[in-house]
Structure 1
Amino acid sequence: MERQRTNPDPGKLAATFPPLSLQTRIVVLTYLAYFFYYFTRKHLGVATHALVKDGYSEDLIAAVQTGYGVCYAVGQFLSGALGDRVGPRIGLCVGMVLSAIASIAFGIFPFVGVLAIALTLNGLFQSTGWPNCCKLVTLWVSDAKRGRVMGFWLTCYILGSLAANFCAGYILEQYGWRQVFLFTGITVLVVGVIQGLFLISKPEDAGYSFGEQEEGGEGEGGAREGFGRMIREPAVLMLGFSYTGLKFVRYAFFAWLPYYLATAVHLGDSESAYVSNGFEIGGVIGLLGGGFIADRFFAKNRCRLAFIALIGMVFALVAYRGFSASSGLWGNVGGLMLIGFFLYIADAIVSGTAAQDIGGPGSAASAAGIINGIGSTAQIFAGFLPIAVKKHWGWDGVFVTFIALGVLSCLVLLPLALRSEVRRK
């Protein structure tokens, strides 16, 4: 198809594809947006051990992580519906700027009240990222190419997490924990402003359109219809409930993995931050390989691959539980890579690609927001439950909890995995 721009007649949009350069610009900008969201998402987990040594209690930080999770879960539903209604550019820009301000505020004013309020509300600001990014990619990439593009794009949240760990760990070692919050906040502020200046919410705003885009997907009425339809869609609800186990494990790792490595494996603070990156490194490998496998063998039902990956994650957790405390630095890197390899394959499909397949261009943000919102109800407990379990049954009990939730996610996903096709009807 010829990719030339034409001037649309008044009241009628030209049905021409956006040029590849413009599509690439939007994909790259959204990639960078979600990549840098992690700089003000992972910093508290990396700094936790230093904060505890500086007088902040485990219970306080657990309460903040729990409050963050509550705000994040509520925000997922709101951000998904608003993204379909007002457009994703505004959601991304405002969310990143507010998340940056919350981080900078604690770096400048390191009081308990600021920690509790700013970093709890940060969950609400962080929730703007995933639904709006998913909607932008859905709107700007045709169905025929979305699988390949998403195989690349979905690495943003793994590489972003990886970079956030390295960056926060280095700043923590060289300058201290306050500078961690200041640097990450300033970085996200700059990126958020760039999103507001250069993103375009949908092709129609630039005079383009995709032939397969459904009508009525935008605007207030379309947003209400999209959210209302998705919240009643059984496949969306099953994906959301399956995502609870995945989300709990992932965010418990975000919040407490460096602390576990420092206290149970007895690594240094900066070493703990670096070793915890094994989780994300394995995720990158799994996601790139999983994207190819999904397109090649599971194009009609990617949930089947997610189910297989969940089983792999459960076995990897069982193995890591048995050897992590005594295997040293490189043994922990390898074990975490194996867990991340399987977890991120399932995570990307359940929360991203499957949501886009079911939601389509008009309801992608709503579908992604609902799935992530349901999943984030378990994230609420990732802040305090691991420490509560640790106090009674030790870290071994924490990993038994992870394994049990992984099995539960497998069982919930099984009906979708048995279907011949999982796509928008």
Structure 2
Amino acid sequence: MRVFAATWLCYAGYYFCRRPFYLVKSQLAADLGFSTSTLGAIGALFLVSYAIAQFLAGALGNRFGPRLMLLVGMAVSMAANLGFGVATSSAAFFVLMTVNGVAQATGWSAGVGTMACWFNRQERGRVMGVWATNFQAGGVAANLFAALLLERFDWRVALFSSVAALGAVWLVVLTNQRNRPEDVGLPVVRDQDEAPDSVDDGKLGWTRDATVNVVLVGLYYFFLKLIRYALWSWVPFVLARNYHLEGSEAGYIATLFDVCGIPGVIVTGWLSDRVFGARRAGISLLMTVAMTLSCLLLYSAGQVSVPMFAVAIALIGFTLYGPDALLTGAGAMDIGSRRAATLAAGIISGIGSCGPVVQELVIARMLDSKGGDLGPVFLLLLGSAVAAAAMLTIVVVRNRLGHSNV
């Protein structure tokens, strides 16, 4: 339980040094004179370094263990965010964002790798359904924390205080996280069909089908993460610019996306174990179709009404976060197996993390060139949802043909 709580808190804590930049974009534009394109480029640099480092983090996590990756990653991220608080030029932000992206990439794969060693396949859906609420809860807490400080002080105080919050989490992880049950004298956790001599033999044991499944889930995650990061990155900005809300008000509304994602993750994880027989793709496809309909609502009604905008992003959050967490958490464990879960999670997240890079650059140009018109942006999100559903349909078909067991 201590390991579960420590790793949950750890990944939630990462968001205190990831989310504040997106919340203070309008303040950076006003105080430092950054254009929309410059802000988009800064965000894109973070996402590029984050995506590339995911692959490296997965491989290094398999070699050095999740604990070291988490402690080093959090420490470097805190240092980069301290730099944000004193930086005054776009060049400094470019460098620091790149460093922060590499540091932040250590979090998910190392967390998933830890959990794979402590829980077997038959319980992972329910366990990861609860554990994976960390990135919604972390997003909500980081947003509210920064929005409150932004309302009462300024963006620099918001950044420095967020670093302090992650520092407290770092101490909790240092004293409570352990990579495997064996590290504290407990027996090895095995899947029901796992032979005793199949653990820790130094080989991945991946078949061609397993490799294809990792790539397919990664491509699905590309489109899903494009939508998630588009809403994270630009909702506060467009609410302030297009709907003329105050920065703190925009931050509070943006939080609905994460808040509604929390029950979505828990429900999806429970259903995957109890109704879908520990398979993740079927329930994830149903939720993805519902997410597509929610994106259609955002496109059709969100452009003219703040309440409908809020309802739409809340529905997207509920339907997006479940598949997001399930396939990149429990799904990565199932595909990669206990010994290679960290690597599988790193590859899936690495492919998926290219989606946020695309949205950051494309949406910034859309907002600049279209005079702030949100129609093309919302259409991009709808198209991405359709593409995500198509990728996952292939996985479900492969399940039925016996080529995957996701």
- TM (normalized to structure 2)? 0.92
Instruction: Pick one of 346, 353, 362 that aligns with 1:369.
Output: 346
Counterpart of 1:18 in structure 2 is none
Q: How far did 1:335 drift?
A: 1.7
- The corresponding residue for 2:386 is 407
Partner of 2:396: 417
**1:244-288 Cα shifts (integer Å, max 9, x gaps):** 100111111111110011112221110000000111122112112
Corresponding residue for residue 191 of structure 1: 169
Which residue number corresponds to residue 46 of structure 2? 68
Cα displacement (A) at 1:149: 1.4
Instruction: State the shift of 1:297 in Å.
Output: 1.5
* Further displaced range: 232-241 or 142-151: 142-151
Q: 1:303 is matched with which residue: 276, 281, 289?
A: 281
Q: Which moved more, 1:408-417 or 1:28-37?
A: 408-417
- Counterpart CA distance in 2 for 1:242 and 1:76 is 16
> Could you say what the CA RMSD is over the residues aligned between the two structures, in angstroms?
2.0
Task: Give the residue type in structure 2 aligned to 1:251.
Answer: Y
Offset at 1:229? 6.2
The one-letter amino acid paired with 1:423 is N
1:48–1:136 distance in 2 versus 1, CA, 3 Å = same
- What's the CA shift string for 1:89-119, capped at 9, x where partnerless? 0000000110011001111333333211112
Distance 1:313 1:284 in 2: 15
Matches within 5 A, 1:263-412: 263-328=241-306, 330-393=307-370, 394-412=373-391
Query: What is the Cα deviation at residue 201 of structure 1?
Result: 1.5
3-state DSSP of counterpart to 1:120 = helix
Q: Residue 113 of structure 1 is aligned with which of 91, 111, 122?
A: 91
Q: How many residues align?
A: 396
Of 83, 89, 104, the residue aligned with 2:61 is 83
Distance 1:211 1:227, change over 3 A: closer
The answer to whether the 8 Å contact 2:272/2:283 transfers is yes
Q: 1:417 is matched by which residue type in structure 2?
A: V
Give how far 1:326 is off.
Answer: 2.6
- From 229, 245, 248, give the equivalent of 2:223: 245
Residue 386 (structure 1) shift: 0.7
Q: 1:299, CA displacement in angstroms?
A: 2.3
Partners of 1:68 and 1:119 within 8 A in 2 = yes
Identity %: 31
Per-residue deviation, residues 159-195 of structure 1 (Å, max 9, x unmatched): 1111111111111111101111111112213322432
2:84 & 2:47 partners in 1: Cα distance? Answer: 18
1:50 maps to what in 2? 27
Alpha-carbon contact 1:310-1:406 (below 8 Å) kept: yes
Moved more, 232-241 or 295-304: 295-304
Determine if the alignment matches structure 1 residue 173 to structure 2 residue 151.
yes
Q: Report the alpha carbon displacement of residue 200 of structure 1 after superposing the two structures with TM.
A: 1.3
Q: Is the 8 A contact 1:142 1:210 kept in 2?
A: no
Q: Secondary structure of the residue that 2:352 maps to in structure 1?
A: helix
In structure 2, the gaps of 5 or more residues are: none
2 CA distance for matches of 1:56 and 1:115? 11
User: How far has the Cα of 1:349 moved from its partner?
Assistant: 2.0
Matches of 1:352 and 1:239 in 2, distance apart? 11
SS at match of 2:303: helix
Query: What residue ranges of structure 1 are gaps of 5+ in the alignment?
Result: 1-23
Query: Hey, what's the Cα distance between the residues in 2 that align with 1:312 and 1:324?
Result: 17
| TM-score normalised per structure 1 | 0.88
Instruction: Tell me the secondary structure at the aligned position of residue 148 of structure 1.
Output: helix
Match of 1:13 in 2: none
Counterpart for residue 5 of structure 2: 28
State the 1:230 CA deviation.
Answer: 8.6
Q: AA paired with 1:257? A: V
Please list the CA deviations of residues 114-152 of structure 1 after superposition, one character each: whole Å capped at 9, or x if unmatched.
211112221110000000000111111233332221121
3-state SS of 1:384 partner: helix
Aligned to 2:131: 153
Is the 2:49–2:101 contact (alpha carbons within 8 Å) kept by the matching residues of 1? yes
Task: Give the Cα–Cα distance (whole angstroms) in 1 for the partners of residues 323 and 239 of structure 2.
Answer: 25
List per-residue Cα deviations over 1:210-249 (Å, max 9, x = no partner): 252665655xx72xx3397699611111000111100111
